[in-house]
Amino acid sequence: MAKPSATELQQAATAVDVESFNYEITLETSAGPIRLTLDSQKAPGHVRNMVALAESGFYDNGCFHRVIKDFMIQGGCPEGSGRGGPGYEI
């Protein structure tokens, strides 16, 4: 299956209903699951974007490119470098 284009991903994000649903995303990691609760009241554009990207498989088999013990993790870059993205900005 071909990866969706940036335009297709943006269109999918606009279709995500942040008014009627609360979204939770579970990241399946080698260290166990991480559950994220997305707050569409505070960041509706980011929730739409993350849900559309997750549903498209954008994050599948990704990595955390930055890990600071007992503080934070960063991931979601398709290149694994922290410099990539879906091809558009929100």
3-state secondary structure of 31: coil
Q: Is the pLDDT of residue 72 over 90?
A: yes
Q: What is the pLDDT of residues 1-31, one digit of tens each?
A: 567 888 888 888 888 888 888 899 999 999 9
pLDDT above 90 (res 71): yes
Q: What's the pTM? A: 0.82
How many angstroms separate the CA atoms of 62 and 77, rounded?
7
For 33, phi then psi, to 5°, come to -75, 150
| Residue 21 DSSP one-character state | -
Whether 87 is in a domain gets the answer no
Length of the chain: 90
**40 lies in some domain:** yes
Q: How many helices (H) and strands (E) does the chain have?
A: 2, 4
Query: 82: which DSSP letter?
Result: S
Residue-range definition of the domain harbouring residue 40: 6-75
More confident residue, 75 or 20: 75
What's the CA gap between 83 and 69, in Å, rounded? 21
User: What pLDDT is attached to residue 51?
Assistant: 93
Domain count along the chain: 1
Q: Is residue 90 part of a domain?
A: no
